[in-house]
Amino acid sequence: MNIEKVKNYNQKMLAVLATILVALGLLGLISMSYFFINEVFSYRINDRESGIIANQETDVLQEQNLRKQLISFENKVLVDSVNLVYFIPVKQKNLLEAEHISDGTLGLLNISGSSSYSKSRRDYYYGSFNNLLIYDYKNNQTIKLFNKRIGLGDIKYYKFAAETLITFKGADVDSDKNGKINLYDLSSLYVYPVNEKKLRKIGKNNWTFIEYDIVPGTKNMMVHFGIDRNEDGYYDPDLEPQIIVLYNFEKDEILDIVNQEMKQELQKLVEGSI
- 109 located within any domain: yes
Give the pLDDT of residue 271.
Answer: 85
- Can you tell me the distance from the alpha carbon of 51 to that of 140, in angstroms, rounded to the nearest whole number? 30
- 24 located within any domain: no
Give the pLDDT of residue 69.
Answer: 80
Count of domains for the chain: 2
- Mark residue 127 as left, alpha or beta (left: phi above 0; alpha: psi -120 to 50; beta: remaining): left
Give the pLDDT of residue 248.
Answer: 97
Distances (CA, A) of 206 to 54, 84, 185: 19, 38, 11
Are residues 174 and 145 part of one domain? yes
Are residues 211 and 196 part of one domain? no
pLDDT one-digit tens code per residue, 146-192: 999 999 999 999 998 888 999 999 999 999 999 989 999 999 999 99
Q: Which residues of 11-47 are buried (b: 16+ CB within 10 A; e: fewer)?
A: eeeeeeeeeeeeeeeeeeeeeeeeeeeeeeeeeeeee
Residue finishing a domain among 157, 172, 201: 201
Are residues 155 and 112 part of one domain? yes
Kindly report which listed range (38-42, 100-104, 192-196, 210-214) carries the lowest average pLDDT score: 38-42
Kindly report which listed range (28-32, 137-141, 225-229, 257-261) carries the lowest average pLDDT score: 28-32
- 180 located within any domain: yes
E strand segments, 101-220: 124-125, 131-136, 141-144, 151-159, 164-171, 180-181, 188-193, 200-202, 207-214
Residue finishing a domain among 184, 201, 218: 201
Are residues 249 and 158 part of one domain? no
- 3 located within any domain: no
Tell me the residue length of the chain: 274
Residue 175 one-letter amino acid? S
- 130 located within any domain: yes
Are residues 192 and 68 part of one domain? yes
- Residue 199 pLDDT grade (very low, low, confident, very high; cuts 50, 70, 90): very high
Are residues 249 and 209 part of one domain? yes
Q: Do residues 149 and 55 make contact, with C-beta atoms less than 8 angstroms apart?
A: yes
Are residues 192 and 222 part of one domain? no
Average pLDDT over residues 222-227: 97
Residue 197: count other Cβ atoms within 10 Å of its Cβ: 12
Residue finishing a domain among 201, 220, 241: 201
Are residues 230 and 181 part of one domain? no
Distant-in-sequence, close-in-space partners of 110: CB < 8 Å, separation ≥ 6? 72, 73, 74, 93
- 233 located within any domain: yes
Are residues 177 and 56 part of one domain? yes
Are residues 169 and 62 part of one domain? yes
- 16 located within any domain: no
Are residues 117 and 248 part of one domain? no
More confident call, 181 vs 104? 181
- 5 located within any domain: no
Are residues 255 and 124 part of one domain? no
Give the pLDDT of residue 193.
Answer: 96
Tell me the average pLDDT of the chain. 81
The boundaries of the domain holding residue 118 are 50-201
pLDDT one-digit tens code per residue, 22-61: 666 666 666 555 444 454 444 444 555 577 777 777 777 7
